Each structure stands twice: as structure tokens, then as C-alpha cells.
Amino acid sequence: MSSLALLTSSPIVEIFPHGRDRRIAAGRTPASPGFLARRLLAAGWTDDAPEPWPVRQVVELCRAEIDWSVAEWRRLDPLDNEDTGGWGPHPSELYRLPHEHDAARVLNAAAHLQPTRWRLHELVRSGGRLRAQRRAAADGEQSETCRLDWMQRAADTVEEIETLWALRRRQMHALAHALAAYRRARGTLDTAARHAA
């Protein structure tokens, strides 16, 4: 029997085949609202970050969700909680709750957006690269060859800025979808907890 036929013919009986895995999955609890609130209060942001406050707040909440999931994994599996040494996914990812998967997507989207924002900030802020290149291209004391070179550099920078703006729009769209999914999942969880109390 070929390996492909073997894979397609044998059904997967359960996701967590071992008793330890079932115990960890069954023992997982979501982060409490008090824990999340304390994490927000403890967050120290600098004023030079270009991210707007609501995004920074939700990203911090998502970091807290992931930290909670790792702590829960360590609590439930104290004997075998070694991480992978930097290779592959963290072992706790297998036991994340659905809203924690959404939180991880928010963190991923925010991590992709941050370098794009900083690069745009570096290129267009006052005294940035584009402004300096345009000043050099307009400098009458330089040779025509030098000014043409600076004009070409400024044109290349404008092209890079346009490319980065398009990339930023796509990344913001992905982040908005991830944020909406996380807020829905967390809202459902908080509503269920209020009704149970």
C-alpha cells in the first residue's frame, strides 16, 4: 500500500491521542478580565511609537492572552514543559483556546505592520530621506550629473514610498480583520462568563 493510500484510508481518531494531552486541553481556562486589566495598567509605552492607542491596547491584550496560554500550559504540564529551543512552534500552541488563536493572528499582523510603518516614518518625516534628496537635487552649487543622480534617488524613494503605502494598506486590512475576529471571540467569552456568574 502506498503512503498516500495509507494516509487517506486511515481516519484520525482524535486530536489529542495521549492522556496527558487530553488533560491539558480539558484543564485550559481563558485569561481572566482582571489579569488583562492589570497587564494594560502595567504596560509602559513610549510616546514616539507611531501606532495609534487603540491598536496598541489590543495588541497588549493579545500579548497577555498568549502569555496566559503559555502559563496555563506550564501549570497543567509541569513535568514536560520544555520549549523547542527556537525550532518550530512553541509546544503550548497546540492547547490554545480559539480566542487565543485569534490573539496570535493579531500579534502576527501587528508584527508585519510595524517595520512598514517605521520605514515610512523614516522616509517621509521632516528632515527625512526624501526631503534631503530633493534639497540636494535642487542645489545649484552641485554639478548637473550630481543633481540628476539626486533626482533619480528621490524618484526611487518616491517609488519605495508608494510601494510601502500599498503594502501598509494590505497589512492594515489584515490587522483589522484579525482585530475584529479577536474582539468577537473575546466578547463571546466574556458574555458567557457574565451569564455563568
Give me the residue spans of the domains in the chain.
16-196
* Residue 11: pLDDT band with limits 50, 70, 90: very low
How far apart are alpha carbons 84 and 90 in whole angstroms?
6
Q: In the block, which residue shows the cell 488563536? A: 101
How far apart are alpha carbons 179 and 59 in whole angstroms?
9
Q: In the block, which residue shows the cell 486589566? A: 37
Other C-beta atoms lying within 10 Å of the C-beta of residue 121: 12
Is 80 exceeded by the pLDDT of residue 94? yes
Q: In the block, which residue shows the cell 458574555? A: 191
Higher pLDDT, 181 or 196: 181
- pTM, entire model: 0.73
> Angle at the Cα of 145 (from 163 to 121), degrees rounded to 5?
30
Residues 110-132, mean pLDDT to the nearest whole number: 85
Q: What integer best gives the mean pLDDT of the chain?
A: 80
How far apart are alpha carbons 196 and 31 in whole angstroms?
16
Q: How crowded is the C-beta side of 79, counted as CA atoms within 13 Å? A: 3
Nearest to 105 by CA among 174, 167, 55, 35: 174
Amino acid 102 reads D
- Give percent above pLDDT 70 in the chain: 78
Is 60 exceeded by the pLDDT of residue 98? yes
Residues 162-185, mean pLDDT to the nearest whole number: 94
Amino acid 175 reads L
81-86 — which CB contacts under 8 Å span 24+ positions? Answer: none
Radius of gyration for the alpha carbons in the chain, expressed in angstroms and rounded: 24
Is 50 exceeded by the pLDDT of residue 8? no
pLDDT at residue 13 in the model:
38
Residue 88: exposure state from Cβ atoms within 10 A (0-12, 13-18, ≥19): exposed
